[in-house]
Structure 1
């Protein structure tokens, strides 16, 4: 048990929940979704499996809660980022968070979704994660619109736009993590600069 977990006082529900999520995030990083079990989470958090079940219905909900926390952080960044940076500049500001989210959860997300959809599981955390994802896409759309207005630009009017931008950022994140562009001696910073500028060109009306 870590020092932080030892310091969590009995009855500190929020602290206990943080311990559980910290344990789960470490397991995901080390063993992936397959290694994420309620028992393993409990051991890492220094609590019983029964205690973990007091907070989450199953590992699907734990995973959803972890994603929700990261998406909430990204929404705060989108709310605060300087619109004067321009669209490409704003995207460069959020790309590190997108990359970190994809590094931690990307390759497990498909397994999580398949498990939830196939099993018909709709726990409150799973449902909440989907809602937070939609809020994140809406926040991205709002930030792009406000940034374009601040820079005297007009965005293409299409509901697919923020989804395409998000998927494009995920694509960049995947390349950065797999170091695909480096095989052709393209530096990560150059890839990000090129990709964000290309995204801006693709969504602004000429």
Structure 2
């Protein structure tokens, strides 16, 4: 006869001294807690409980990242504090520090996610786009990224050279190098379609990124109108297109 062990508060209850050698099977059943936290299609057994906890933690991390982005928009780097993030997301400071060492690490994860989305966008560019259109799209993406996230506590030179310590910063460095590589491949292919060669070297893509970020920074400082910013971008595309390509 199987021995059935009950569940207490949604967790499997294992009684000490259980004996399976005598032929009694240890059976864990899915009970239902008196106050269910949420619906679960497989019941409140061990698997269900673990899935619930993992899913809850993943959601809390997403909440932390979303809240951090909002704080950056509202008040810049100074507004992003661990205390404020914890208060807005409803998690304890202790739990927050278990997930992130500090706001630098939160920021690194935010920026890495942004870069990974950019990589996907660059990869999805049509293969028949002219060189100048590919370049303009990349400059615009960098400009938007800088406006969204990139104006705070970020040294692109160190990132490009992999000098950022820690796991989160290491992932950021890798994503940054990857997006530059993808951009280089796209520009080279576009140039070849037009009978040109893209003059790429170690720092070319880094320079392109810096120019786009510089335009965004100057536009913000001087509070430029959109039309003037667009004109600056168009001049940048023409200058870079002429200076970074040659006849094949």
**With structure 1 as the length reference, what TM-score do the two structures score?**
0.80
Task: Quickly say closer, same or farther: Cα 1:113–1:143, change in 2 above 3 A.
Answer: closer
* Equivalent residue, structure 2, for 1:148: 191
Checking the alignment, whether the CA contact within 8 Å between 2:146 and 2:216 is kept in structure 1 is yes
How far apart are the structure 2 equivalents of 1:38 and 1:106?
19
1:195 aligns with 2:236: yes
Match of 2:152 in 1: 108
- Alpha-carbon RMSD across the aligned residues, in angstroms, is 2.8
Deviations 1:176-199 (A, max 9, x none): 4345664xx963332222221221
Unpaired runs of at least 5, structure 1: 1-8, 115-119
Q: Tell me the distance in 1 between the aligned counterparts of 2:229 and 2:164.
A: 39
The runs of 4+ residues in structure 1 deviating greater than 6 Å are 111-114
Contact 2:138–2:183 under 8 Å retained in 1: no
Question: 1:67 aligns to what?
Answer: 111
Return the structure number with greater helix share: 1
Tell me the distance in 1 between the aligned counterparts of 2:180 and 2:200.
15
Displacement of 1:18:
0.9
The number of residues matched between the two structures is: 192
Structure 1 stretch displaced more, 161-170 or 172-181 = 172-181
- 1:77 counterpart residue number: 121
**CA contact 1:22–1:45 (8 Å) conserved in 2:** no
Q: SS of the residue aligned with 1:108?
A: coil
Say which of 157, 176, 196 aligns to 1:133.
Answer: 176
Which ranges of structure 2 fall in alignment gaps of 5 or more residues?
1-51
**Equivalent residues in 2 for 1:1-206, closer than 5 Å:** 11-12=54-55, 13-110=57-154, 122-179=165-222, 182=225, 187-206=228-247
Q: Helix, strand or coil: the match of 1:85?
A: coil
Deviations 1:112-154 (A, max 9, x none): 999xxxxx98221112111211112111111111221222211
Report which structure shows greater RCO (CA 8 Å, sep ≥6): 1
Aligned to 2:23: none
More strand by share: 2
Could you tell me whether the CA contact under 8 Å between 2:119 and 2:182 is conserved in 1?
yes
- The 3 A distance-change label for structure 1 pair 45 and 109 is same
Question: Is the Cα contact below 8 Å between 1:83 and 1:150 reproduced in 2?
Answer: no
The two structures have a TM-score, normalised by structure 2, of 0.68
